[in-house]
Structures are given as C-alpha cells and as structure tokens.
Amino acid sequence: MNYTITPYNANFIPPVQKPDANFLPQVGEQGIRDLLARLYTCLDTSPVRGIFPPADTEGMLEAAQVSADFFIQICGGPAYFNQNRGMPQMRGRHAPFAITPDARLHWLSCFEEALKPLEESVSEESLQSFWNYINIFSIMMINTQG
C-alpha cells in the first residue's frame, strides 16, 4: 500500500476518482462504520481535536455515523447520506470549520491508521483506490490557510 499524500497546491486541484466498486463488497457496510469509528477515535486525541464536536457530548459518535453514511454512499452503497442529510455539498458543510493544509495532514494520518486493519481483508487495488479518493478529495475541504 502506498499512503502517499499529495501536497496541497492552491492553484491546482487534481481530478478525483471515487473508490473502486469492489471496495464496499469486500468491507461491508458495518466495516465502513467500524472504519469511521476508528477514524473518529483517532481524531478525538489528535491536534485537530478542537474543530470537532466537544468531548463530553454524543457529537463525535454522531459525526462518525454521518460520515459513514457518506462513505457507504460514495462507495456505491445505499444513499443513506442523501436520505438523512440531503445533498452532500461537502465543501459547504465543511465551511464552518477552519480546515488548514496541516489539519488535512492530521486527518489523513488518522485515516491511514484506521485503514491499516483492512490490509488483511481487502485487496490492495481496492484499498489503494479508497486512499487515492480521500487523498485528493480532502484537498478540496481546505478552506483556511495555515
């Protein structure tokens, strides 16, 4: 696996491709929910903790669920996100939070940690396609210069 992070360049947003269609069948919906739970557990103690919901609330659990809805949908599964939240409009939804190039790096580093357990059960090609998706898509969430 190649967990490369494309450097942020404000003048060039590379084209993004969705994860390949074989990723979700190998991981399963529950596997995606577990993946997002691992991501949010890592974010909970990461340097970007401050932009996420307060620790003493259900906010982090809820955010993990909503994000799982999105990832199941983007991976070709049921449109849970659209049903529960409406159109994705991810850039707009992230606008209230200051996402710097550095915050993206911390977020991706937590995602790498969350993805590692899947190396056992998911083909490298599919896992790579998922990583490539979040590597590029996360560039578009940057809305604040660090």
Q: Which of 3, 5, 93, 143 binds ligand HEM (CB under 6 A)?
A: 93
Residue 26 Cα distances to 29, 32, 39, 115, 130, angstroms: 9, 10, 19, 13, 12
Which CB atom, from 102 or from 120, has the smaller least distance to ligand HEM?
Answer: 102
Residue 40 φ then ψ, to 5°: -70, -30
- The letter for the amino acid at 11 is N
Q: Is 137 among the residues that bind ligand HEM (CB under 6 A)?
A: yes
Which CB atom, from 3 or from 137, has the smaller least distance to ligand HEM?
Answer: 137
Q: Is 141 among the residues that bind ligand HEM (CB under 6 A)?
A: yes
Q: Is 103 among the residues that bind ligand HEM (CB under 6 A)?
A: yes
In the DSSP assignment, the letter for residue 96 is T
The CB-side HSE value for 62 (13 A sphere, CA atoms) comes to: 10
Q: Is 53 among the residues that bind ligand HEM (CB under 6 A)?
A: yes
Applying CB under 6 A, the site for ligand HEM has a residue count of 22
Query: Buried (b) or exposed (e) across 6-18, using 16+ Cβ within 10 A?
Result: eebeeeeeeeeee
Which CB atom, from 96 or from 120, has the smaller least distance to ligand HEM?
Answer: 96
Q: Is 70 among the residues that bind ligand HEM (CB under 6 A)?
A: yes
**Can you read off the two tokens belonging to residue 48?**
């970007």
Binding site for ligand HEM (CB under 6 A): 48, 51-53, 59, 63, 66-67, 70, 85, 90, 93-94, 97, 99, 103-104, 107, 134, 137-138, 141
